[in-house]
Amino acid sequence: MKKNGFVFVESVVVLVVVALSLAMLISSYSLVSRKTKEKEKYDKTSDKYLVYVLSKLGTDDVCNYAVGCSNLSNKDISFRADADAASDNSCATTKMGELLFNCNQVFKDMGLVHIYVVENVRNELNDLKSNGDPKGPTDKKAVQIYDNGTIEYMKSLKKCNDVNTSDNGIFRIVDEKSNCTSPITYMIGVFERGNGNYYYASIEL
C-alpha cells in the first residue's frame, strides 16, 4: 500500500514537471514566433526608405508633417490617409493631399494602403486626448482609427524619449504609465504586397 502511494505521488510530480516544461516551451515558441513575424513584416529597409521619401515630398522647414501648418485646412499633426479614394480618410482630403499632388497615385505607385501620422503613440493606444485626458464618447477610439495590425505594430514602437526632467530637476526614466512630456511623433506606412500580406514601417518625424 505504501509502495502504491509512493508511485502515485511520483507520477503526480512527473506530470507536474512535464506540464511546466510544456508551458515554458509554448511560451518560448510564442515569443520566437512573434519576433520572427516582426522581423519579416516590420521595418524592412525598403519600406522605411519609402516612408522617409514620402515624408519629404511637398514639405519644407515651415510646413511639414511634424508641425501644425497654419496655411493648410488640415492643421492637425495626427491624421490617417487611405489609398482608397472612396474612403472617408482618402488621402486627397487630408493634410497629405494638400502637400502632395495626386496623392492617390503616389499611394498606388508605392503599394501603400494607409499612412498614419501619430503625434503621441502612447496617448493613441490608451485612448487619451492630446492633454492626457480620457477620450469622450464622441471621440474616435484607437480601434476606430487604426486596423488591428497597425495597433500591434504601434505597441512595438518606442513611445517617449528615454529621459525627461521632473519638477525638481532630477532626470528620471519614464515608463509606459507615466505622463510622457516628450512623445515621439511617427509617420507609419502600411504596405500591401498583392498577396494579402501587410507590412509596416515607420520613421520618427
pLDDT at 165: 44
- Between residues 65 and 131, which one has the greater pLDDT? 65
8 and 46 co-located in one domain:
no
27 and 63 co-located in one domain:
no
For residue 189, what pLDDT band results from cuts at 50, 70 and 90? very high
What is the domain range of residue 15? Answer: 1-41
For residue 182, what pLDDT band results from cuts at 50, 70 and 90? confident
Q: What is the largest CA-CA distance in the chain?
A: 89
CB neighbours of 63 closer than 8 A, spacing ≥ 6? 69, 71, 72, 99
For residue 2, what pLDDT band results from cuts at 50, 70 and 90? low
pLDDT at 6: 63
Per-residue H/E/C for the chain = CHHHHHHHHHHHHHHHHHHHHHHHHHHHHHHHHHHHHHHHHECCHHHHHHHHHHHHCCCCCCCCCCCCCCCCCCCCCCEEEECCCCCCCEHHHCHHHHHCCCHHHHHHHHCEEEEEEECCHHHHHCCECCCCCECCCCCCCHHHHCCHHHHHHHHCCCCECCEEECCCCCEEECCCCCCCCCECCEEEEEEECCCCCEEEEEEEC
6 and 64 co-located in one domain:
no
pLDDT > 70? residue 71:
yes
93 and 15 co-located in one domain:
no
For residue 169, what pLDDT band results from cuts at 50, 70 and 90? very low
pLDDT > 90? residue 96:
yes
87 and 21 co-located in one domain:
no
The domain tally of the chain equals 2
pLDDT at 153: 95
Give the range among 7-16, 41-50, 55-64, 158-167 with minimum mean pLDDT: 158-167
Angle made by CA atoms 84, 88, 89, in degrees to the nearest 5: 65
57 and 91 co-located in one domain:
yes
Quote the mean pLDDT of the chain: 83
Give percent of the chain with pLDDT exceeding 70.
82
pLDDT > 80? residue 36:
no
Which of 41, 58, 73 terminates a domain? The answer is: 41
For residue 11, what pLDDT band results from cuts at 50, 70 and 90? confident
48 and 35 co-located in one domain:
no
120 and 36 co-located in one domain:
no
Each residue's pLDDT tens digit, 117-168 = 999 999 999 988 877 788 888 888 999 999 999 999 999 999 988 654 444 4
